[in-house]
């Protein structure tokens, strides 16, 4: 991914990158050294510290994609379109992590790799919607019709995000609800590890979206200049 080149943003980019890298180092130490091993699931439980923050980063990516798509539909500004593409790609990346780490955890917890639990099913649906978005955008040089249709898909995918979050409360399923308003069955060291993971994954999601949006804007500008030169 291309690094943003604006002089005003390069310092912020460097600071966030350094902070995120340092935070990931501290987070990994906290996860594997400080946080205790869960008695029933053992070391496999530590997937929790990657699985849950990845789901949160997925929400960020898909949410940004929907915001960028809505902005593009309203203003037809390529910057909003670039933000939509970046959010969709980053959200899909973290969705893939969720769908890969989930079965690893489920195998130990439930004895099966996959079950059509409401939260799992709605997460898979979100991944499929944004995969369709990316497939549409990757078909050659996306024109105005493709961009608008893809933006509509992103907004449709946004509707699924609350379903993912509240599916455990609304429909009965086997997916655990570890974090609730009343607390959860976590030791204090586990909360530290989870909290640091949330911050680290948020920083990573911001960096990836920033870099990908910048690269997409540059690509659009290059394509526009090439088109103008060819039609002079």
Burial (CB count within 10 angstroms: exposed 0-12, middle 13-18, buried 19+), residue 110: middle
pLDDT in tens, 81-125: 999 999 999 999 999 999 999 888 777 777 777 777 888 889 999
CB distance 97 to 53 below 8 Å: no
pLDDT in tens, 185-199: 567 888 899 999 999
51 has a pLDDT exceeding 80 = yes
Mean pLDDT of 4-28: 81
Q: Which two tokens stand for residue 17?
A: 């990158």
- Distances in Å between the Cα of 178 and the Cα atoms of 18, 66, 138 are 31, 28, 38
- Number of Cβ atoms within 10 Å of the Cβ of 114: 14
Classify domain 8-230 by CATH number. 1.20.120
CB distance 54 to 96 below 8 Å: no
pLDDT in tens, 129-159: 999 999 988 875 667 888 899 999 999 999 9
Domain ranges of the chain: 8-230
- In the chain, alpha helices (H): 7-29, 48-75, 78-110, 118-137, 144-170, 188-230
Q: Mean pLDDT score of the chain, rounded to an integer?
A: 84
Residue with the bigger pLDDT between 63 and 4: it is 63
226 has a pLDDT exceeding 80 = no
- Nearest of 101, 102, 95, 96 to residue 116 by alpha carbon: 102
CB distance 158 to 152 below 8 Å: no
d(CA 132, CA 153): 8
Residue with the bigger pLDDT between 200 and 2: it is 200
Structure confidence at residue 27 (pLDDT): 95
205 has a pLDDT exceeding 60 = yes
pLDDT in tens, 154-182: 999 999 998 887 766 666 655 555 554 44
184 has a pLDDT exceeding 60 = no
Which of 5-19, 41-55, 135-149, 157-171 holds the top average pLDDT? Answer: 41-55
Structure confidence at residue 71 (pLDDT): 96
pLDDT band for 1, please (50, 70, 90 cuts).
very low
- Nearest of 187, 98, 170 to residue 178 by alpha carbon: 187
pLDDT band for 222, please (50, 70, 90 cuts).
confident
Structure confidence at residue 227 (pLDDT): 62
pLDDT band for 206, please (50, 70, 90 cuts).
very high
């Amino acid at each position: 991914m291309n690094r943003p080149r604006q002089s005003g943003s390069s310092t912020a980019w460097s600071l966030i990158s350094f902070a995120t890298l340092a935070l990931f180092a501290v987070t990994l130490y906290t996860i594997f050294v400080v946080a205790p091993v869960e008695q029933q699931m053992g070391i496999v439980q530590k997937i929790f510290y990657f699985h849950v923050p990845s789901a949160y980063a997925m929400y960020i990516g898909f949410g940004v994609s929907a915001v960028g798509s809505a902005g593009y539909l309203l203003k037809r500004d390529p910057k909003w379109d670039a933000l939509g593409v970046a959010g969709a790609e980053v959200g899909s990346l973290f969705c893939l992590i969720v769908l890969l780490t989930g079965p690893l955890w489920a195998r130990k917890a439930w004895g099966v790799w996959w079950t059509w639990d409401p939260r799992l099913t709605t997460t898979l649906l979100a991944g499929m919607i944004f995969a369709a978005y990316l497939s549409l955008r990757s078909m050659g040089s996306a024109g105005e019709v493709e961009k608008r249709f893809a933006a509509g898909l992103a907004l449709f995918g946004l509707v699924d995000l609350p379903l993912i979050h509240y599916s455990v409360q609304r429909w009965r399923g086997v997916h655990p609800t570890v974090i609730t308003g009343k607390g959860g069955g976590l030791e204090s060291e586990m909360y530290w590890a989870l909290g640091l993971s949330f911050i680290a994954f948020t920083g990573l999601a911001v960096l990836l979206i920033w870099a990908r949006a910048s690269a997409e804007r540059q690509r659009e500008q290059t394509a526009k200049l090439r088109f103008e030169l060819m039609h002079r």
